[in-house]
Structure formats: C-alpha cells, structure tokens
Amino acid sequence: MSTETPDRNLAVVGAGVMGTNIAVLALGHGVPVTLVDLDETVLAGARRTIGLKLRHGQLMGKLAAERVLHPKTGLVTTVSLADTAGATAVVEAVTEIPETKTKVLSEVSQIVRPGTLTISNTSCIPIDEMADAVARPEDLVGVHFMNPAYLIEMVEVIRGPRTAAATMTAVTDLLGALGRRGLVVNDAPGFVINTVLHPMINTAARLVQNGVASVEVVDGLMEGCLGHSTGPLRTADLIGLDNLVDSLNVLYARTGDESCRPCDFLLEKVRAGHFGRKTGEGFYDYGKVAS
C-alpha cells in the first residue's frame, strides 16, 4: 500500500531521461508528480518508462514498496506548463541549451506562487546566468541529480549568488524527503562534477580517436587502475552523447578551456545519431532499444 506525502507535489518539466528518472525518485518516495512536456507521444512513453523504472528501483532495493505511488494515481502528465501552478516545488529538466532552459524557467516563474522552490537540473550552466530570466532569482537553486537519479543517493546542490537562505532550507528538506544527500557548491560553469568529468570523457574519446587505445582499454584502465566503478566512455553512454556535447559546448563557451571543445570522434557519434544507451549505440553497442 502506498504512503503518499500530501504536503508535497513536485512538478517536473521535461520528460526525457533525467525528467523521468526524477519523477521515479519522487513517486518512489510517495511524492505526487506533475510531468510536463511539449509532446504527448513523449509523455506516453514516459509513463511506460516510469512504471518500469519504479519496478527496477524496488528490485534494486532502492525504493520501498510501501511508499511507492503508482503512476495511475500519483502521476499527472500534461503539455501545459500552467499545470505547474499548484506545485510546492518545480524541477526544470529540459535539454542543456541555455536558451531553452531560461525560457522554461522564466515561464515557470510567472506561473508558480512566490516562494515556490524552483530547481534547475542543469549540468553546466551557471545558476546566476539563468536567474536573470526569472521573476524571483531568490527562489532558484541548482540540483544536479546523477543518472539514474532513483538509484544514486548523492546530489550536487548549486547555490547561486542570489539564492535565498529560505530556498536552501527548502531544497534540503525536499532532498531529505526524497532520500537524497546533497553537497552544496558555489556557482560556476560546470560546478564540480562536470568540470572534472566532462573534460575527462572528452580526453578519453580523443585518445580513442588518435589510436592510442580502444574504448574498452581506456575504460578498463580507469576501472582497474584508478578504481572507477564505470569507465569514462561507458559513463558517457549513460549520460547521452548528445547531452554531453551540449554541456561541453557550454563549458567551452564560458571558460575557453580547450579540453572542453568536443573532439571529432564524439561529434561524429552524435551526427550519426549514436547517443548511447538511449539509442542502443554510442561508444558501445547495446542492441535494439525497446519501444
């Protein structure tokens, strides 16, 4: 039997990989979700995916069956951003393109009540840069959920220069209700995780491009010698190579660091539509993607 958390109602904008994973995390902890996307077909697929991931989370021992809200009762899907109005917190989880994120956050800020916790699940874009577009910059904070969000308990919390103390308290309370532990960092392009991770992935791809080692050897050395649970190129496939290129472009534009300029091998993969696990092929071949 589900145990709902009636005083919380999370809205998630964007029904892609991260949006669906965040929805699973919330439903798995008894928090109702309103999931918003522009495309009804995407939302229909998200419903199926969320059901599968809720079962996966329970099988992995990460979600307690007695707390899980079934998608039929706990999940509302909609193409109208206006349906975020009653949410106690909103998570923006759209693609890592600055113009797209700022447009969504600006519109959300005009809809929700003042003081509503507004979260960007940004990978690299500085929070204060996006805060310029919202009605109340003090309500905006960054939370960089790791993929898959319903399995990984640590998150990176980004405090912008204008983020209010009350917002930091609210995001800490929400993360606690979702069983997540947040470590707070100050605002900067890429924050901590992706300032370290994305250039490393790009360098690993460049090593393959230059014939220094195969994909499997690069990952094997990072796993076997440095103790990484997953090598950088397999991690890239999990992130999504298209998302990775978007994030690297953000980092390169804001830092000028050449290690962040996407290498040709990575760009070729994206041009070919080989985005990683979600398309069935990236640096590795995962077989046909289930429909």
Order of all β-strands in the sheet with 89-92 = 75-78, 33-36, 10-13, 89-92, 117-120, 140-144, 154-159, 181-186
User: What's the gap between Cα 248 and its chain centre?
Assistant: 15
Residues 269, 273: Cα–Cα separation, whole Å: 6
Residue closest to 127 by CA, chosen among 172, 87, 168: 168
Q: Which of 144, 198, 228, 274 is catalytic?
A: 144
67, 116 in Cβ contact below 8 A?
A: no
56 is catalytic: no
145 Cβ contact list (under 8 Å, min separation 6): 18, 21, 22, 25, 121, 152, 155, 180
* Of the candidates 37, 55, 56, the residue with the CA atom closest to the CA atom of residue 46: 37
SS3 (DSSP) at 223: helix
User: Which residues are annotated as catalytic?
Assistant: 144
